[in-house]
Structure 1
């Protein structure tokens, strides 16, 4: 496994991030533990989750699965850089719609940290992430709450997810003015070969302020994972975002050209999509969310995969990026 520092911090993390969103809803606890053990054995030390994972009536279940894995011992917790997220409403779905159970108020930040620590069976969260912007809560309030939690040792670093570039700038400028507040050190954003809008402003802002970029959905819901080949060989039909994209003839043609190009180079599409992200400026490592140990093994191969200049040029021709702002939309 290869490692890099998370943004401007001294924290060393693996170039792949183990995403755990499937743990609970699609992968049972025993198999989830097997995958986490395999990831740690392979050198993956950066695990990402969120308080809402498990979804619906099972919100929090994924953190519980990870906590039970930590409780097995064997230095699992000390070897893991643990990241979780908060923002979603964690009140019981069948209960009253009480206010202050979601978003980024100081009240909910404190409540959410304590609840996650209990589920995760740990005394600290290494990277605590805001899952979405909260337009109603000023950053003065947010940073005041975070400062207290850092002083208490409950969290060490703070990251964002799904933030636009201007919010990254706003958050870190205010943190700098306050003094003593570390500010955001990472941004978790939607970024892959087929969805490159983050290159316009989000990634440049992250680089300017020293945030590590952690792309989510690196295979774009399976669209970049060899979906047409699977459709032809197994009859397996795409669903969700992938099905919507393939219903458009132009999008389907792009995916076909992508798979044909990688077939020519003898590379698996899913591994190429991950390897491409690892070549991108500012990227710490993409989040991979395996449902099985075999899917994890495929993702691990991407770290060692070297993409030729010819192949990189071909990928850019199929999926051209928007270019940086403001040139992307102005003269």
Structure 2
């Protein structure tokens, strides 16, 4: 698998990343091991998780595979913090919470550092300087190699990145993890331009439109799909509407003409978007992941890329498109 630099950092990552949102809940330890082995065999090296995935179980599963399935130094681990599983304060980017959850993540992962530590979302109740100072401390202490943001808007991303670049010795923000796919191109308005201007690598989550771009929902909701899962039903139904259906049909038509799967077409499109470093693949089974990894050998013809751009085009106006 080809590698790309993560933003303006020296960290080289595989151009596909492995997501673990279902690990420890819908994906058991054996299937997680099979997924990781397939990913590593394909040349992948970046795995993404979070302290809230499976209430910490996803990190524990990863920790159980380190040393047995893969040496720690051969795997790049990205995790996130800043969300609380319940209570009145859902978002918490305070110094105490971030550093406390980082230590808990390290214990579950069975390692003394993570390669990329990301703030899971913007917290309006915590001064941004406090959050970023906590990240600086995490890097200075050796527990974190690089820092990133997740689900920040354009201005929030720019504010954080500029703050870190304004003073020597602060840890630079090198990555932005955002939802991005043919069904969700909102980040093209301001987040992607901010990342390009400030040197952040983009890590798209849900690059297959929460599974909808695979075409599995074209004729209903399969009994084993996320659309009928109590954990993920609300996550999927957002994209089961007419506009999204027309995009899915365009992807299916392109796939039929190329003799590949809709999954490969949608994934190749997002993988090769300007500014994208590595889409994050989330699979429930090893078989699903193997199908997605076939995209490595594929390059979309320019005319198909243009057609998909057109059918999924984002409506923009002032000030993104002036005049």
Shift in Å, 1:297:
1.2
After TM superposition, the structure 1 = structure 2 runs for residues 164-203 of structure 1, keeping only pairs within 5 Å, are: 164-203=153-192
Residues 1:320 and 2:313 aligned together = yes
Shift in Å, 1:112:
0.9
Which residue is 1:50 aligned to?
Answer: 50
Q: Contact 2:35–2:285 at 8 Å: present in 1 too?
A: yes
After TM superposition, the structure 1 = structure 2 runs for residues 203-282 of structure 1, keeping only pairs within 5 Å, are: 203-228=192-217, 231=220, 239=227, 240=233, 242-246=236-240, 248-282=241-275
After TM superposition, the structure 1 = structure 2 runs for residues 76-91 of structure 1, keeping only pairs within 5 Å, are: 77-89=72-84
Which residue is 1:64 aligned to?
Answer: 60
Q: Contact 2:250–2:308 at 8 Å: present in 1 too?
A: no
Relative to structure 1, the CA distance from residue 136 to residue 301 in structure 2 (aligned partners, 3 Å threshold; closer, same or farther) is same
Q: Distance in 2 between matches of 1:237 and 1:62?
A: 20
Q: In structure 1, the residue corresponding to 2:202 is in which secondary structure?
A: strand
Root-mean-square deviation over aligned CA pairs: 2.4
Shift in Å, 1:31:
1.3
Q: Please, which runs of 5 or more residues in structure 2 have no aligned partner?
A: 228-232
Shift in Å, 1:133:
0.3
Which residue is 2:12 aligned to?
Answer: 12
After TM superposition, the structure 1 = structure 2 runs for residues 281-320 of structure 1, keeping only pairs within 5 Å, are: 281-320=274-313
Cα-to-partner distance string for 1:137-180 (whole Å, 9 max, x where unaligned): 22221222222221210001100000001011111221122321
Q: How many residues align?
A: 317
Q: Distance in 1 between matches of 2:145 and 2:121?
A: 19
Which residue is 1:133 aligned to?
Answer: 122
Shift in Å, 1:32:
0.7
Which residue is 1:104 aligned to?
Answer: 93
Cα-to-partner distance string for 1:272-302 (whole Å, 9 max, x where unaligned): 1110012211000100011111111111111
Shift in Å, 1:228:
4.8
Q: Distance in 2 between matches of 1:238 and 1:309?
A: 32
Shift in Å, 1:183:
2.6
Q: Distance in 2 between matches of 1:228 and 1:85?
A: 30
Which residue is 1:25 aligned to?
Answer: 25
Q: In structure 2, the residue corresponding to 1:192 is in which secondary structure?
A: coil
Q: Distance in 2 between matches of 1:29 and 1:128?
A: 23
Q: Distance in 1 between matches of 2:123 and 2:299?
A: 40
More moved, 177-186 vs 163-172 = 177-186
Which residue is 2:230 aligned to?
Answer: none
Runs of 4+ in structure 1 deviating by more than 6 angstroms, as ranges, are 234-238
Residues 1:122 and 2:117 aligned together = no
Which residue is 2:139 aligned to?
Answer: 150
Shift in Å, 1:73:
6.1
Shift in Å, 1:254:
3.5
| TM-score (norm: length of structure 2) | 0.91
Q: Distance in 2 between matches of 1:73 and 1:312?
A: 38
More moved, 191-200 vs 291-300 = 291-300
Shift in Å, 1:213:
0.2
Relative to structure 1, the CA distance from residue 70 to residue 237 in structure 2 (aligned partners, 3 Å threshold; closer, same or farther) is closer
Q: Distance in 1 between matches of 2:171 and 2:94?
A: 19
Q: Contact 1:106–1:142 at 8 Å: present in 2 too?
A: yes
Q: Distance in 2 between matches of 1:303 and 1:32?
A: 21
Q: Please, which runs of 5 or more residues in structure 1 have no aligned partner?
A: none
Q: Distance in 2 between matches of 1:261 and 1:238?
A: 25
